């Protein structure tokens, strides 16, 4: 995996950008290693991928293999760990900024991360996610698929000598029907039903305007 995009870092000056960048991908170092021949620092994945196809250093073209790589100075690792970086899921809505050493822990627990929702178990959890809408959408998809398979089943059963086709369709139909049956109760609880408009009583009805006239005798 290449380095971290420099745009993700907060208050990173140009000199730090140059000092902490990988000589191959030009991004901020990720799991850095040092080439013994030139003392240049690379992302471990970047230089490993390079050496899988080349036998020389990408910086000074001296002979180099993975045996010629070493760990970076502790000072460099400490400085990298203190850099401020935005969350991996910033595009999903997360506004957290953490240190680089905290990024892995934050990413694992970030509520904006992709993964199954703990309530409705949908495949993705995005900004503005609604369990109700996800379940209703799933129910509609299952109902539509079930209707299509039922029509295919009826057509297959009317054909002479093609009972095997009907048998093949019976299995998915039964599975889909089971899913629908399981969702009926849930759908009834979560589906928003329109409420009837309140009926005005005689006391609440508006008075009818009448024209009154006085006759003087």
Q: Containing domain of residue 56, as a range? A: 6-109
- Co-location of 101 and 25 in the same domain: yes
- Kindly report, residue by residue over 163-186, the tens digit of the pLDDT: 554 455 455 555 555 655 666 555
Residue 214 lies in a domain: no
Residue 95 lies in a domain: yes
Residues 6+ apart with CB under 8 A from 7: none
The pair phi, psi for residue 74, each rounded to 5°, is: -60, -35
Residues 6+ apart with CB under 8 A from 88: 103, 107, 110, 113
Q: What is the predicted pLDDT for the residue at 142?
A: 76
What's the gap between Cα 105 and its chain centre? 18
Q: Is residue 212's pLDDT more than 90?
A: no
Percent of the chain with pLDDT over 70: 62
Residue 204 lies in a domain: no
The Cα–Cα gap between 21 and 27 comes to 5
At 13, list the tokens. 């000056």
- Kindly report, residue by residue over 183-203, the tens digit of the pLDDT: 655 555 555 444 444 444 444
Residue 206 lies in a domain: no
- Co-location of 20 and 75 in the same domain: yes
Better-scored residue on pLDDT, 86 or 92: 86
Q: What is the predicted pLDDT for the residue at 123?
A: 54
DSSP E strands in 31-144: the ranges are 32-35, 41-43, 69-70, 84-86, 97-99
- Co-location of 91 and 143 in the same domain: no
Residue 21 sits in a domain whose CATH number is 3.30.40.10
Greatest mean pLDDT among 67-71, 116-120, 147-151: 67-71
Nearest CA among 62, 61, 75, 67 for reference residue 48:
67
Q: Are 129 and 113 in contact (CB under 8 A)?
A: no
Left, alpha or beta for 88 (phi > 0: left; psi -120 to 50: alpha)? Answer: alpha
- Kindly report, residue by residue over 8-28, the tens digit of the pLDDT: 999 888 888 989 999 899 999
Q: What is the predicted pLDDT for the residue at 3?
A: 92
Count how many domains the chain has.
2
Q: Are 24 and 3 in contact (CB under 8 A)?
A: no
- Co-location of 16 and 104 in the same domain: yes
Average pLDDT for 96-109: 89
- Co-location of 89 and 142 in the same domain: no
The Cα–Cα gap between 24 and 47 comes to 7
């Amino acid at each position: 995996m290449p380095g971290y995009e420099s745009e993700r870092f907060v208050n990173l000056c140009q000199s730090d950008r140059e000092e902490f960048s990988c000589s191959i991908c030009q991004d901020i170092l990720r799991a850095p290693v040092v080439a013994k021949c030139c003392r240049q620092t690379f992302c471990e994945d970047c230089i490993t991928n390079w050496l899988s196809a080349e036998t020389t250093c990408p910086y000074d073209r001296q002979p180099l293999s993975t045996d010629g790589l070493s760990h970076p100075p502790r000072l460099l690792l400490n400085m990298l760990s203190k850099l401020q970086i935005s969350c991996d899921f910033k595009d999903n809505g997360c506004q957290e900024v953490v240190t680089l050493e905290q990024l892995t822990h934050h990413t694992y627990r970030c509520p904006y991360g992709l993964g199954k929702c703990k309530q409705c178990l949908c495949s993705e959890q995005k900004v503005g996610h609604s369990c109700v809408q996800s379940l209703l959408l799933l129910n509609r998809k299952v109902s539509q698929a079930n209707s299509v398979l039922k029509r295919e089943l009826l057509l297959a059963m009317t054909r002479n000598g093609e009972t095997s086709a009907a048998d093949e369709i019976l299995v998915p139909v039964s599975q889909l029907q089971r899913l629908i049956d399981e969702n009926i109760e849930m759908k009834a609880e979560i589906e928003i039903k329109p409420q009837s408009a309140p009926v005005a009583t005689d006391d609440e009805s508006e008075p009818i305007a009448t024209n009154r006239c006085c006759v003087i005798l």
